[in-house]
Amino acid sequence: MACLNPSQLQKFQENGFLVLEGFVSAEECMAMQQRISEIVAEMDVPPHCRTEFSTQEEEQLRAQGSTDYFLSSGDKIRFFFEKGVFDKKGNFVVPPEKAVNKIGHALHAHDPVFRSVTHSPKVQALARSLGLQMPVVVQSMYIFKQPHFGGEVSPHQDATFLYTEPLGRVLGMWIAVEDATLTNGCLWFIPGSHTKGVSRRMIRAPAGSAPGTRFLGSEPARDDSLFVPTPVQRGALVLIHGEVVHKSEQNLSACSRQAYTFHLMEAAGTVWSPENWLQPTADLAFPPLYT
């Protein structure tokens, strides 16, 4: 099974991330791609909801923080788009399947294919070997990284958006559905950067006030040379500590870099910040990982 050995566990604790090649089979990757293409084919996005996904702070607030479509997506399957894929009237200028940046944030809850990947015996065994007692799934995303214009994701910590007290209770599991290479936008990490706390937090505003979110603190300037590229093959799983600093570059290649990622929180003895943009709802509490 997919248990970590002591040296892998130590490496994860030291670096804040760990690559597990071959974690998911080619068949499982194909099943996810097949299902996501069905979801995209059935996509019906009201024009006023055509939100472009952005990670630059001002654009983040403008594009997402002020839209209910983003803020109420935690218990739904919703679509977020690359920059420049709509004309001024909100019509696609590229084929819709090439326009999607990501789909989030509850594939793990509402879609049987993604639910089975998320709660697979392999994932459960991996979480147990990390010592997680009561892990719950807080969100999931399918990320497309479209060829030629898949946007960059600027340096960030996941705990900026998914904040807990104490810190260190959030874990990302990032599955490469396609090869992630130096040219198509693989992940980059600053090893060991998960030990210094969180420099920035995204705070949800009180209901009805605009914009819907704001940031506390700011991302410090970081030396590019600190980042280590992490190219992986299709089927790899990358473990991501909630506070490790990571990024990905724009995809300028002709190949997409699809990935399925979800976040776990150790619920035992943990307070999920009531100020996080993402909150459990009456429709969807955070489901326990262990089934």
Task: Convert the chain into a string of H (helix), E (strand) and C (coil).
Answer: CCCCCHHHHHHHHHHCEEEECCCCCHHHHHHHHHHHHHHHHCCCCCHHHCCECCCCHHHHHHHHHCCHHHHCCCCCEEEEECCCCECCCCCECCCHHHHEEEEEECHHHHCHHHHHHHCCHHHHHHHHHCCCCCEEEEEEEEECCCCCCECCEEEECHHHCCCEECCCCEEEEEEECCCECCCCCCEEECCCHHHCCCCEEEEECCCCCCCCEEEEECCCCCCHHHCEEECECCCCEEEEECCCCEEECCECCCCCCCEEEEEEEECCCCEECCCCCCCCCCCCCCCECCC
The pLDDT-based confidence of 205 (bands split at 50, 70, 90) is: confident
Domains of the chain, first to last: 6-272 (2.60.120.620)
Quote the CA–CA distance of 130 and 4 in Å, as a whole number: 7
The pLDDT-based confidence of 180 (bands split at 50, 70, 90) is: very high
Residues 33-48 pLDDT 10s: 999 999 999 998 766 6
Identify the pLDDT of residue 210: 76
Residues 218-227 pLDDT 10s: 999 999 999 9
Identify the pLDDT of residue 63: 54
Quote the CA–CA distance of 168 and 159 in Å, as a whole number: 8
Identify the pLDDT of residue 149: 84
Identify the pLDDT of residue 62: 57
Which amino acid is it at 208?
G
Region 115-127: mean pLDDT is 98
Identify the pLDDT of residue 81: 87
Quote the CA–CA distance of 65 and 277 in Å, as a whole number: 9
Rounded to 5°, the CA angle 42-48-49 comes to: 50
Quote the CA–CA distance of 291 and 283 in Å, as a whole number: 19
Quote the CA–CA distance of 162 and 164 in Å, as a whole number: 7
Identify the pLDDT of residue 61: 57
Residues 51-110 pLDDT 10s: 666 666 666 555 554 578 888 999 999 998 888 888 887 788 899 899 999 999 999 999
The pLDDT-based confidence of 211 (bands split at 50, 70, 90) is: confident
